[in-house]
Amino acid sequence: MARLKIAVLISGRGSNLQALIDSCAQPDFPAEITLVMANRADAAGLQRAADAGIPTQVIPHKNYPDRETFDSAMTAALEQAGVGLVCLAGFMRLLTPGFVEHWRDRLINIHPSLLPSFPGLHTHERALAQGVRFGGCTVHFVRAEMDNGPIIVQAAVPVLPNDDADTLAARVLEAEHRAYPLALRLVAEGRVNVIGERTEVSGAPGHLSTQLNPSD
């Protein structure tokens, strides 16, 4: 079966990009990265892509008069590269409803919380302030509303008594590096079906163990 051609959109260091690069380098992985695109020429993740021999492209958002023309330029570049799925990995630009709709169910994102809890910024600070016992991350299909859309994969990590935002963020980031490649694999294998505003994953286990925090 042909591997799914994907693009990864970044704005910064590309930590999750590296996890996707490493997974796509495996010969049995069902997707390949054909383009890494950034809106900033100084995005460190561009070097990660170059080191892996992956084509890169910079489309500076400041060169466009509005979000619509910027998003149109991105779509043109993505389609020229033959991309079938777009992965957002620290892409720090709000996307227009037109872009999101054009790529509907072909556009995924990772967010550092267990959505729908704590969308937006400062997720770890807010989670700690609320006293939650678990943090985590969510990979989801993108909708026009920020950090919203059918959920593909979630990973939960415990919040420890001495955590601050940095230590919790580091623990969640480790989970992100496992969750994003898993979500990409599931989508690329055709195992994820979007039904309304939720997903069904074929072959998913019917039972997972319960975790308690604190445990007795």
Mean pLDDT of residues grouped by 10 in the chain (216 residues)?
Answer: 95 97 97 98 97 98 97 98 98 97 98 98 98 98 96 98 98 98 98 97 87 88
pLDDT at position 208, please? 84
CA distances from 52 to 48, 104, 141, 178, 180 (A): 6, 28, 26, 19, 18
111 an active-site residue? yes
pLDDT of residue 205: 82
Determine the pLDDT at residue 54: 98
For the record, the structure tokens of 51 come out as 């080191």
What is residue 3's predicted lDDT score, i.e. its pLDDT? 97
Q: What is the pLDDT at residue 216?
A: 74
What is the model's pLDDT at position 114?
A: 98
Catalytic residue among 61, 102, 111, 140: 111
This prediction's pTM: 0.96
Q: Identify the pLDDT of residue 1.
A: 72
**What residues contact 115, with CB distance under 8 A and at least 6 apart?**
138, 140, 147, 148, 151, 154
Q: Tell me if 108 sits within 8 A of 130, measured CB to CB.
A: no
